[in-house]
Structure 1
Amino acid sequence: MKLFRHQTWSRAALFAVPVLAAQVVVTQLQSELGYAPFASAVAQEEKKADTRETRRTPALRNKVYEKLAEAQAAAEAKDLASAEKILNGMVSAGGKKALNSYELANVYNLYAFIYYSQENYPKALQAYENVVSQPDIPLAMEINTRYTIAQLYFVQEDWARGIDALLKWFDMTESPNAAAYVLLAQGYYQQKDYNKALTNVEKAISMYDEKGKLPKEQWYNLARFLYFEQNDIPNTVNTLEILLQHYPKKQYWVQLSHMYGEQKKETDQLSAMETAYAQGMLDKGTEQVTMAYLYLNADVPYKAAKVMDKGLKDGSIDDKSKNWEIAGSAWRQAQETEKAIPAMEKAASKSETGELYARLGNIYLDGDQNDKAISAINKGLSRGGVKRPDTARLVLGMAYFNTKQYEKARKAFQAAARDERSSKYAAQWIKYMNSELERQRSLAEG
């Protein structure tokens, strides 16, 4: 790397190296919120800041420049031990008093890079604090260093100090950019000060909007979370719609569907989820089951059954009783009895109670499979756990009646009649059966 003299050299070379290291350290933080690299985050502010305040910065002497250049070369070659040894020699040669404030600031700046590279973040922070404690250093250097200090506190999850450091940086900067507001919003978010977090991320988004630039996806995500935490459903929905316009992803369709549900917009709720399903985004079984439920709620049982059938066959939906029950119920509501039966058979076989056998018996009856209906309902009643034994016995009585087992049918209807919820229907069936038996006797007598 070519070195430049005095302030230009410090800004472009020595200071740039630790800054790049800082970017590596805060990669996760920046990637989560989409921050611009640190150097660009403050580049515009430096020029404006320098016009506000003029400092008489001491000169960088040749012998100091040469030693710093030697230490920098070692650091760039990843020979950190040699780089640190050179810096130690500079400090101890004549003591710190032998270096002026600007020279000492550059020494600490390079120390910071070395500690960064060693992942010794506390010592890196202390080195940066030593940089800004030097009098009469270039204002741009102090501004950039304070931003790096704030980032380092955030990396160490010391949110309070990170916020304080960043606020000091804001005080020194004429035109903070959007990335800095998002960083501050993240700090407040971590401290659960959601009002301040929202104010700052909204500021960042509006700054980009005003310039005709597309705000980062992560910024919208932070805003979405904060709106939701404040139970601001309209703005949550609006943010999700923007995310889908510019950053279409499954999670946003699913979340938007849920939010439409909160607003009682059932048609929009179904449409959002259906869009994700049609694009093959709903790869989780639970999401597909939700899709099926939405179809059922919208009285579209055939589509619900198709979703369940496909998911159960390809294994994306868990092979358990409840899911087969949903599939069987959907097929039955769609008047697809032949498809409902095998689904409900699997549901019943995987169930620990008799409820699904009772319901299976009902489906068998719909399909004119009376003997199977009798067997299934009796199995369900003997197993126990049937929610409405009275209705199960009504169905059992009908199946016995259809197979001309009239005495068993009568006993089933009489048992059902003991529950007042079914007594009326049971009495009607007994009356009908008696009249039918009388009709048959009359025909037999000629």
Structure 2
Amino acid sequence: MKLSKSTMWLRSAFLAVPVVAAQVVVTQVQTELDWLPLGIAVAQEEQPEQETRRTPALRNKVYERLQEAQVAAEANDFTTAAQVLDSMLAAGGKNELNSYELANVYNLYAFVHYSREDYGKAIAAYENVIRQPEIPLAMEINTKYTIAQLYFVEEKWRQGLNTLLEWFDLTETPPASAYVLLSQAYYQLEDYPKALANVERAINMQEEKGKLPKEQWYNLARFLYFDKNDINSAVDVLRKLLTHYPDKQYWVQLSHMFGEQERESVQLAAMETAYVQDLLDRGSEQVSMAYLYLNGEVPYKAAKVMDRGLKDESIEATSRHYEVLGNAWRQAQEVDKAIPAMETAAAKSEDGELYARLGNIYLDGDEYTKAIAAINKGLSRGGVNRPDTARLALGMAYFNNEQYDKAREAFKAAGRDERSERHASQWIKYMESELDRQRQLQDGG
């Protein structure tokens, strides 16, 4: 059964932008270049210095004040931390700090704002960090990366993208995770070709190193392949997801993809694999499984799926679902089981269509009186899709119940619709000939 794209969850898939929490670490490290605090820690590989910068020293008295603010921040006493930093800039103190010291003050301000979830002020503070001249290149690179991430948190996709591209210009060997972040930025801006190119690059980088790409990376690629109608590539990604991150949703999605390819047999097999492992816990998934069985001409299994789901209440007890159950049992030649299912479906329905169908099932089971009652109820209730065929069935039921006048009346009513005119006429002729035969037998007797 081919499922239309409009019905597939992929169209509404939410792809979250992962944000690495910025951490400010002010640590006194004795080196030949004097005291050097570490900048913001972000998830990236070490980058080689691209240029030589003469960075001013961090003086001990400034370090001590930064350490005081750092201790308060680590204790979640952000008010005290901010007061210490304010005092360092107040009353002309700002002019007494060199560029590197100012960068560390703003760096710690940013952490305080970030911890308070005031991302706008955090961005402004980080912008002040990179405005300072002669700060270490690594500090500038890491800060730009964090600014880009915070723009994404604020859903300012264009600013985040521009900042991230600046970061790429400064970085000689960006890690795979950075290309994923770039891909997500393009995705949010609906530039899907660039989004796909970057997530593909990230996945290839990981796989070439013998490393496993993250599940979210594969999912982003899968969505983008589907959007460009590259179903074969989407299937390939889903196979990798099932290999490395087995989950019921991927079996369901793979089944849908096979449906897009009109590969009904493997579509059924993929969904069935999930079902036999008891992974299809949603009623809608189980109903889809039943439809696939019906489409694959396996009505007995379809009926078993629906019956089990309705009994354990994982499938909602609606008229439509009981109708599917009844039709499945009927196609499986299990008329005795089809009848109670269709009775329930008809009772829950607001129109007469299902009573007309129920009448046909009664007719199949040679229960003519019940067939007559059900079809008449359906016709009187209204909403029967083909009243003419319902009246043909009604005529057959009357005929087999030896109510010939009513049978003739039902056939004539059916024949008023040109779609059933020929069949109605044939039934009337057959009935008249049968009645003549019976009279001749009686006369001869």
Normalising by structure 2, we get a TM-score of: 0.89
| Cα shift readout 1:94-129 (whole Å, capped 9, x = no counterpart) | 532312211221111111112222222222212111
Q: 1:218 deviation in Å?
A: 0.5
Partner of 1:329: 327
Partner of 2:122: 124
Indicate the larger mover: 64-73 or 132-141.
64-73
Partner of 1:395: 393
Q: CA RMSD in A?
A: 1.9
C-alpha distance in 1 between matches for 2:81 and 2:383: 77
Partner of 2:75: 77
- Is 1:360 the equivalent of 2:358? yes
Q: Which amino acid aligns with 1:182?
A: V
Q: Report if the CA contact (8 A) 2:55-2:136 is conserved.
A: yes
C-alpha distance in 2 between matches for 1:412 and 1:277: 46
Given the superposition, is the C-alpha separation of residues 246 and 317 from structure 1 closer, same or farther in structure 2, using an over 3 Å criterion?
same
Q: Which amino acid aligns with 1:44?
A: E
Q: Report if the CA contact (8 A) 1:308-1:323 is conserved.
A: yes
Indicate the larger mover: 304-313 or 211-220.
304-313
Q: Please list, as runs of the form range in 1=range in 2, the aligned pairs for 1:157-306 lying within 5 A after superposition.
A: 157-306=155-304
Q: Structure 1 runs of 4+ off > 3 angstroms?
A: 5-12
C-alpha distance in 2 between matches for 1:86 and 1:381: 84
Instruction: Flag structure 2 segments of 5+ consecutive residues without an equivalent.
Output: 1-25
Partner of 2:380: 382
Q: Which amino acid aligns with 2:236?
A: N
Q: 1:241 deviation in Å?
A: 1.9
C-alpha distance in 1 between matches for 2:390 and 2:236: 49
Q: Report if the CA contact (8 A) 1:374-1:399 is conserved.
A: yes
SS of 2:90's partner is helix
C-alpha distance in 1 between matches for 2:376 and 2:87: 93
Indicate the larger mover: 306-315 or 77-86.
77-86
Q: Please list, as runs of the form range in 1=range in 2, the aligned pairs for 1:333-352 lying within 5 A after superposition.
A: 333-352=331-350
Given the superposition, is the C-alpha separation of residues 165 and 442 from structure 1 closer, same or farther in structure 2, using an over 3 Å criterion?
same
Indicate the larger mover: 70-79 or 161-170.
70-79
C-alpha distance in 2 between matches for 1:101 and 1:395: 93
Instruction: Flag structure 1 segments of 5+ consecutive residues without an equivalent.
Output: 20-37
Q: 1:315 deviation in Å?
A: 1.5
Q: Which amino acid aligns with 1:235?
A: S
Given the superposition, is the C-alpha separation of residues 92 and 386 from structure 1 closer, same or farther in structure 2, using an over 3 Å criterion?
closer
C-alpha distance in 2 between matches for 1:9 and 1:258: 60
Q: Report if the CA contact (8 A) 1:3-1:69 is conserved.
A: no
Q: Report if the CA contact (8 A) 1:288-1:311 is conserved.
A: yes
Given the superposition, is the C-alpha separation of residues 100 and 238 from structure 1 closer, same or farther in structure 2, using an over 3 Å criterion?
same
Partner of 1:4: 29
C-alpha distance in 2 between matches for 1:336 and 1:349: 20
C-alpha distance in 1 between matches for 2:408 and 2:80: 100
Partner of 2:95: 97
C-alpha distance in 2 between matches for 1:8 and 1:231: 58
C-alpha distance in 1 between matches for 2:118 and 2:35: 26
Partner of 1:144: 142
C-alpha distance in 1 between matches for 2:92 and 2:375: 98
Indicate the larger mover: 124-133 or 407-416.
407-416
C-alpha distance in 1 between matches for 2:61 and 2:324: 81
Partner of 2:46: 44
Partner of 2:106: 108
Q: Report if the CA contact (8 A) 1:362-1:395 is conserved.
A: yes
Comparing both structures, which one devotes a greater share of its residues to helix? 1
Q: Report if the CA contact (8 A) 1:11-1:141 is conserved.
A: no
Q: 1:83 deviation in Å?
A: 2.1
Q: Which amino acid aligns with 1:68?
A: L
Normalising by structure 1, we get a TM-score of: 0.89
Q: 1:183 deviation in Å?
A: 0.8
C-alpha distance in 2 between matches for 1:390 and 1:119: 68
C-alpha distance in 1 between matches for 2:394 and 2:295: 29
| Cα shift readout 1:10-54 (whole Å, capped 9, x = no counterpart) | 444xx35xx4xxxxxxxxxxxxxxxxxx2x31x422xx1x2x311
C-alpha distance in 2 between matches for 1:276 and 1:214: 24
The one of 298, 313, 316 equivalent to 1:315 is 313
Q: Which amino acid aligns with 2:374?
A: A
